[in-house]
Amino acid sequence: MAFSNPETKKISGNMPSISGAQLSRKSSKLSSLKRDYQLWIMIMPAIAVIIIFNYIPMYGIQLAFRDFDFTKGLTGGQWRGFYYFEQFINNYQFKDLMTNTVVISLASIILGFPAPIILALIINQVIWKRSKKTLQTTVYLPHFISTVVMVGLLNVLLSPNTGIVGLLMKHIGLGDIDLLGSTKAFVPVYVISDIWQHCGWNSIIYLAALSSVDPQLYDSAKIDGASRWQTIRYVDLPAIVPTMIILFILSMGNVLNTGFEKVFLMQNALNLPVSEVIATYVYKIGIISNQFSYSAAIGLFNTLINFVFLLGMNFIAKRFSNISLW
Amino acid sequence: MRFFSKGKTASDMIFDAVIFILSVCIFVVIAYPLYFVIIASVSDSTLVSTGQVTLIPKGFSLFGYQEIFKDSRIWIGYKNTIIYTVLGTFINLLFTLPAAYVLSRQEFKARRFIMFIFIVTMFFNGGLIPTYLLMKDLHMTNTMWVFIFPFCVNVFNLIITRTFFENSIPKELFEAAQMDGCTHFQFFGKVALPLSKAVISVVGLYYLVGHWNDFFTGLVYIRDYSLQPLQIVLRDILVSNQVFSEGAGSGGAAGGYAQRYADQVKYAVIIVSTLPILIVYPFIQKYFEKGVMIGSVKG
Amino acid sequence: MKKVVSGILALSLSASMLAACSSDKASSGQATNVGKDGRVQLTALITKHPLTEDVSKMKWLQDVEKKAGVDIKWQQVTADWGQKKGTLLASGDIPDLIIGPNAVTDADYVQYNGLFEDLSKDMKSLPNVEKMFTEHPETKQIATQLDGNIYGLPKYQRFWPATATRMFINQKWLDKLGLKMPTNWDELYNVLVAFKKDDPNGNGQQDEIPMDFAPPGTISGFFEPTMLLGSEGITLTDASGNGYFVENGKVKNFVTDDRFKKLVEFLHKCYAAGLINKEVFTQDYTKFQSVARGSGDAAKVGFTWGWEVTDRFGNQLAPQYTSMPQIKESADSTAKLSWSYDYNGLNYGANMITMSAKTQNKAAALKFINALYDTKVSMQVLFGSLGTNIADNGDGSYKVLPPADSKMDPGTWKWTSTWADNGPMYISDNLKLTLGTDMQSVGKQTEPLAPVLNAVDKSKDVFPGMFIKYSKDDNSKLSLNDTNLNTLVLAKYSQWITKGGIENDWNTYLNNVKKAGLEDNLKIMQKYYDKYMSSQK
């Protein structure tokens, strides 16, 4: 005890200043709490559901590092560390799976991201009210076609022997390209059909953002003698830029996500070299034997990479546009 | 109407013409496959899959629709889905909009941290089994509440709403309101919400359609057929008509009965499940009219 | 806003209370365990065929439940069982009985140790099952896990043919062009060329598809050209989806076999000459089936594989086709002809019914299980209720009745009105039952293949996959490697057929197959095969 005294003294000597700082911090916290209490009330329900439904089950993540042992519960299996991660990385197909996944999702982002923006700007320029409404309603409809039917439609319409697109291709001299069964056509068909299906739906958010543009801006643009093109450039675009940036950051958090169902249904023997992606691989190993830990590890691996991309993109956006997710 | 107005420059005319052509192209490209779905739902499936149906229905029959509507479960499904969708969307907005407002306030110090905590959940999750066990412990499995409360805050939608609040509600507006002694509750309810009809309708639509198309919740958490949503019922009908694609040998059905119509059901299901959503859209669409928001507040 | 918040609270509170109430009700209902007319209430889940009607409406089932003194609350699953199963088993939240073909797998029994009842202890209460085990000891082998326990009971349905795939050719076209039925690959090639050139369906268009087969989802399958490996002496087992087969007691995989290479070369020759449907790898099964239905009297497909002729071509075109015997590789080939031997896969099934270890009324549940394995009940499990689906001839023999709706085919009718092949059953060998027209014609169309199938050496050339149980580790290693192999081989196989190039690729390919883990798998399988064979002596 004796030699601990000086230390105690030292601390107690510093006490006043610490407590002083604490006090003032505390009071400022208190006052901001007091000032913000309504805000806290408004956000509490959301925090509560996120904690209950998203954070409580997160203990399940350890499954990626453990064996699944039913008798000992989800968290009682033997600790395997990075065994399952290594199993995936050393897997024979690892390289192909990664390449295919990244190619498909990057193509989807690069082509699929601008499409709804362009569509929204075009719709916004249509000056006949009725046609505008018809166009808007039509483009949003394909979103409701389920994936099974969507792929069925592709099979019927793109069939080289009997499909209308297949026949059109023949007419313009591209009959040799089998849209359904070639490794070259798979990614374009996947991405373009995705744009076809979801572009209208995704443009809704931009249309909403465009609707908040102050009409006075258009008027003054007109007075300044701006052409229609310039109005788009200087009035419409700036109004949707924040939304664009936010959505782009979020889409970068999907670099290793491809829709499972559509890829799986579009797979056939001929396009397999480019259509086997992480999601379909996980499905295949999951369904034939209970590879809980292995699929959990692959899932976590995926998530981590996605998250890193999101962090990176968010950083860049913050740096250059001052717009960020948090 | 403006097309013929005076003072229109030549370049604007060209511009309108380009827009017109583009719109027509987009319309045709999108409308034809949709039209195809409709005619395929009333045509002979064999003719459809061999490419003989292109512009008009062939081998007309309403078998697909009969098959769907003769199943009494479909009405239960409709009823359940409508309840889940309406109530669920209401709860979604109730939880999401205030939170988004809070996260858009610069003076709210915890916003960055909370936002980060929320975004993490977009990526990391504990997997299906822990979530199932949680629902079981909360006594939510096999009840309608599992469609309503879990995950009622969608972080993506939250971000969209927050971004909109941040960028479309002028800061001066809150400062002025604050001068008048307006609290956050009042400002949110009386100024922010009315100004944000566009984003509320978008996010509302996102939630609504999410509930409408949700079939996974029913699949995993619901056992009683009386609680199943429409999508599960439709999927069952769809599957029972697709069995002929399984191959007969391993004990699958051997026979061509109903094969002629199997695909009809597939396309009819789309129409049956989509029509109600179609009706909703025009109501929401009117909030996207140019400048309708700001104008209404200022005027 | 405050109102809103308190509203939310009230709402969520009442929600959780409601939820609690409803779950209380459910559990209290279960605790009493009394069902209709004082019978014991059980819960059961069945993975049924999507066509199958509500099982609680089946008369034979009502009778069995009554007789066993149970009242079963059914949960009926037609789709996505795989997804449902994971959560169901992992949460331990299972019904008393789970019924369906391999609905709970051997791997599940290992994984969810303790969740299921070990029925080997209950054999005294299951005399009908015991009888099946004595009369057909192989069924006991299917049921017994590595640890000697029995969790799932198998089925034996006896009547199914020795193969699922038959080979069909358009006899009308042959006759019209004055051609003979081909007996080897070269003759087949010439016939197909004639089918393509000479407009045998007489509609003036060159729209004939000389050869078509089912779109492969794995390396090999029913109704696929890998059947022609039989021309070179390879006996497939249950179509050998992953390529494994047994030859002279040795487990092999044909994907690295020169005979496979030869077949691919032949198929490429056909494809390059435009004799195989251009969409053969991209069409789905529905299209594969509808194309063969032609239009009106004009057939479209010349040579193909299928289950049964009316199933494959529809009633109108079926008479034009005839089923073929296996053909030789070349006129002077001396290889012993073979085919795919599927008898085990078609007539036995593992884990058809499983019981929860937590069942409160074990006696009643066992009584119900036992009743299902009574031959007379089993017959109804398979073909439907006595009276409506099966006639009692009165002399101890029975007859499967034709469908009540004449437009319906017997197969569909069976699937609609009963559990059919998805149920647990034991069709004893001394049951006298006349089958329906569909099964009769399947039998007839298998006749051309009979000599080849009969000549298969079941002890040396058939892989007894149905009867082998792997350890958990081996099983997961096998399936992981097979997933890799399947992707690799399927892609190459289809590419070689459509574009060629097998000659150049072959050595690299063999190397890759090795890397994907084929040798490990062969070693594992050989080990289990040897163990199985020595247990048979």
Among A110-119, A133-142, A186-195, C526-535, the least confident range: A133-142
Sheet architecture: strand order including C97-99: C70-77, C40-47, C97-99, C348-355, C152-156
Structural domain ending residue among the three candidates C468, C491, C512: C468
Same-domain check for residues B17 and B82:
no
Nearest to B30 among A196, A215, A243 (CB): A196
The three-class DSSP label of residue A214 is: coil
The winner for highest mean pLDDT among A145-154, A158-167, B159-168, C19-28 is: B159-168
Does B51 contact chain C (CB < 8 Å)? no
Distances (CA, A) of C483 to A102, A280, C487, C492: 21, 11, 6, 15
Sign of CA dihedral A201, A202, A208, A211: negative
Is the model's pLDDT at C260 over the cut of 90? yes
**Per-residue pLDDT band at A14 (split at 50, 70, 90):** very low
ipTM of the complex: 0.84
Q: What is the pTM of this model?
A: 0.86
pLDDT tens-digit series, residues C373-428: 999 999 999 999 999 999 999 999 999 998 887 777 777 788 889 998 899 999 99
State whether B90 and B229 are in the same domain.
yes
Considering C420, C435, C450, which residue would you say is the last residue of a domain? Answer: C435
Asked whether residue B198 falls in the same domain as residue B266, the answer is yes
Task: Please write the tens of the pLDDT for every residue from B19-51.
Answer: 999 999 999 999 999 999 899 888 887 778 777
- The pLDDT mean for chain B works out to 82
The per-residue pLDDT for A31 is: 60
Mean pLDDT, rounded, for C513-528: 95
> What does the DSSP 8-state code read for residue C304?
E
Quote the number of domains for chain C.
Answer: 2
Q: Which one of B38, B64, B90 terminates a domain?
A: B64
Assigned token pair, C183: 């007996």
- Please write the tens of the pLDDT for every residue from C51-81: 788 899 999 999 999 999 999 999 988 878 8
Q: How far is CA C319 from CA C306, C310, C435, C436, in A?
A: 15, 8, 21, 19
- C27 pLDDT higher than 60: no
Full residue range of the structural domain in which residue B277 is found: 66-298
Looking at the fold, whether C205 and C135 belong to one and the same domain comes out as no
Q: Measured between alpha carbons, how far is A292 from A290 in angstroms, rounded to an integer?
A: 6
What tens digit of pLDDT does each residue of B219-262 get? 889 888 889 999 888 887 777 666 544 444 333 333 344 455 56
- More confident site: B63 or B86: B86
* Contact yes or no for C283/C209 (Cβ under 8 A): no
**Contact (CB<8Å) C491/A273:** yes
Boundaries of domain holding C302 = 166-341+460-468
| Measured distance CA(C287)–CA(C279) in Å, rounded | 10
B22 and B75 fall within a common domain:
no
Residues C287 and C360 both lie in one domain: no
Of the two residues B90 and A8, the one the predictor is more confident about is: B90
- Mean of the pLDDT values across residues A174-189? 86
Same domain, yes or no, for B175 and B286?
yes
How large a percentage of chain C has pLDDT more than 90? 69
Please compute Rg for chain B using Cα positions.
25
- Whether B117 and B164 share a structural domain: yes
| Residues C205 and C85 occupy one common structural domain | no
Which chain A positions have a beta carbon within 8 Å of B198's beta carbon?
208-209, 211-212
Please check whether residues C199 and C323 belong to one and the same domain: yes
Q: Over range C109-118, report the average pLDDT.
A: 90
- Answer yes or no: is C519 within a domain: no
Q: What's the domain count of chain B?
A: 2
First to last CA, chain C: 81
- One domain, residues C198 and C309: yes
Eight-state DSSP code of residue A234: I
Q: Which residue of B has its CA nearest to C83?
A: B220
Distance from CA of C2 to the nearest CA of B (A): 8
Does residue B195 sit in the same domain as residue B129? yes
Note whether B10 and B118 are same-domain residues.
no
Phi (first) and psi of residue C128, to 5 degrees: -70, -35
Same domain, B81 and B205: yes
SS3 per residue for C94-107 = CCCEEECCCCCCHH
Q: Calculate how close chain C gets to B165, using CA atoms only, in Å.
A: 18
Residue C137's pLDDT band, with cuts at 50, 70 and 90, is very high
**Domain CATH number, residue C263:** 3.40.190.10
Nearest-CA residue of chain C relative to A77? C111
Q: CB of C139 within 8 A of CB of C110?
A: no
Q: Angle of helix C309-317 relative to helix C437-446, nearest 10 degrees?
A: 110
CB A103 within 8 A of CB A90: no
Q: For position B280, which CATH number holds?
A: 1.10.3720.10
CA angle A277, A279, A285 (to 5 degrees): 100
According to the per-residue pLDDT averaged within each range, which of A21-30, A139-148, C196-205, C322-331 is highest? C322-331
> Which residues does chain C have within 8 Å of residue B261's beta carbon, measured at their own beta carbons?
none
Edge to edge, what strands does the sheet with C166-170 contain?
Answer: C209-212, C301-306, C166-170, C321-323
The answer on C406 and C312 residing in a single domain is: no
Output the pLDDT for position B289: 66
Substitution target in C487, C499, C509, C524 with the highest count of A β-carbons within 10 Å is C487
> What's the pLDDT score for residue B290?
56
Average pLDDT over residues C239-246: 93
* Residue type present at position C490: L
Contacts 24+ apart (CB under 8 A), B27-32: B27/A134, B27/A135, B27/A138, B27/A139, B29/A196, B30/A138, B30/A139, B30/A141, B30/A142, B30/A196, B30/A200, B31/A138
Closest-CA distance of chain C to residue B87, Å: 11
Average pLDDT over residues A79-83: 91
Distance from CA of C114 to the nearest CA of A (A): 7
Closest among C234, C374, C215 to C288, alpha carbons compared: C215
Q: How far apart, in whole angstroms, are the C-alpha atoms of residue C10 and residue C246?
A: 68
Q: Are residues C134 and C66 in the same domain?
A: yes
| Dist CA B72 CA B241 (whole Å) | 16
Q: Are residues C46 and C144 in the same domain?
A: yes
CA-wise closest residue to B178 among B91, B87, B269, B105: B105
- Render pLDDT for C320-368 as a digit per residue (tens, 0 to 9): 999 999 999 999 999 999 999 999 999 999 999 999 999 999 999 999 9
CA distance A72 to B76: 40
C188 and C311 share one domain: yes
Q: Are residues C174 and C209 in the same domain?
A: yes
Range with the lowest mean pLDDT among A229-238, A259-268, B172-181, C242-251?
B172-181
Q: Identify the band that residue A293 occupies on the pLDDT scale cut at 50, 70 and 90.
A: confident
Q: Which residues contact C400 (CB under 8 A, 6 or more apart)?
A: C383, C389, C390, C410, C433, C434, C435, C436, C439
Domain match, B49 and B98 both:
no
User: Domain extents for chain A?
Assistant: 2-56, 84-321
Distance separating alpha carbons of residues C387 and C401, to the nearest angstrom = 9
Task: Tally Cβ neighbours within 10 Å of residue A312.
Answer: 13
Give the model's pLDDT for residue C33. Answer: 63
- In this predicted structure, the answer to whether residue A260 has a pLDDT above a threshold of 70 is yes
Predicted pLDDT of residue A218: 85
Q: Could you give the count of Cα atoms lying within 13 Å of A36 in the half-sphere of its Cβ?
A: 21
Residues of chain A neighbouring C111 (CB-CB closer than 8 A)? 68, 70, 290
Residue holding tokens 């909030």? B287
pLDDT for position A213? 82
pLDDT band at C111 (very low <50, low <70, confident <90, very high): confident
Which chain B residues are within 8 Å of C223, Cβ to Cβ? 247, 249
Touching partners of B (3+ C-beta pairs < 8 Å): A, C
Do B259 and B182 lie in one domain? The reply is: yes
Nearest C-alpha neighbor of C474 from the set C535, C523, C514? C523
> Which of A:238-277 have CB within 8 Å of C?
268-270, 272-273, 276
For A205-253, write each residue's pLDDT tens digit.
998 888 878 788 888 888 888 888 888 999 999 989 989 999 999 999 9
Within-domain flag for C318? yes
Q: What is the CATH number of domain A84-321?
A: 1.10.3720.10
**Strand residues in chain B grouped as ranges (E):** none
The pLDDT of residue C300: 93
pLDDT tier at B101 (50, 70, 90 boundaries)? Answer: very high
Nearest to C480, CA basis, from A112, A287, A197: A287
C494/A269 Cβ within 8 A: yes
Mean pLDDT of A264-283: 91
For chain B, positions 233-292, list CB contacts with chain A under 8 A. 238, 263, 266-267, 269-270, 273-274, 277-278, 281-282, 285, 287-292
* pLDDT tens string B180-229: 888 889 889 988 898 888 889 889 999 999 999 888 899 889 888 889 99
Q: Which residues contact C282 (CB under 8 A, 6 or more apart)?
A: A155, A159, A178, A180, A181, A268, A270, C215
Please count the other Cβ atoms lying within 10 Å of the Cβ belonging to residue C427.
20
pLDDT for res A18: 44
Cα four-point dihedral sign B267, B270, B276, B277: negative
Residue C244 shares a structural domain with residue C351: no
Residues of B whose CB is below 8 A from A196: 29-30, 33
List beta partners, residue C304.
C168, C212
- Position B248 scores a pLDDT of 41
Same domain, B279 and B170: yes
| CB-CB neighbours of A244 under 10 Å | 19
Q: Are C285 and C215 in contact (CB under 8 A)?
A: yes
Is residue A258 scored above 60 in pLDDT?
yes
Q: Do the Cβ atoms of C79 and B239 come closer than 8 Å?
A: yes
d(CA A225, CA A210): 21
Which of A256-260, B35-39, C202-206, C365-369 has the highest mean predicted lDDT (pLDDT)? C365-369
User: What is the number of H-type helices and E-type strands within chain B?
Assistant: 15, 0
3-state secondary structure of A114: helix
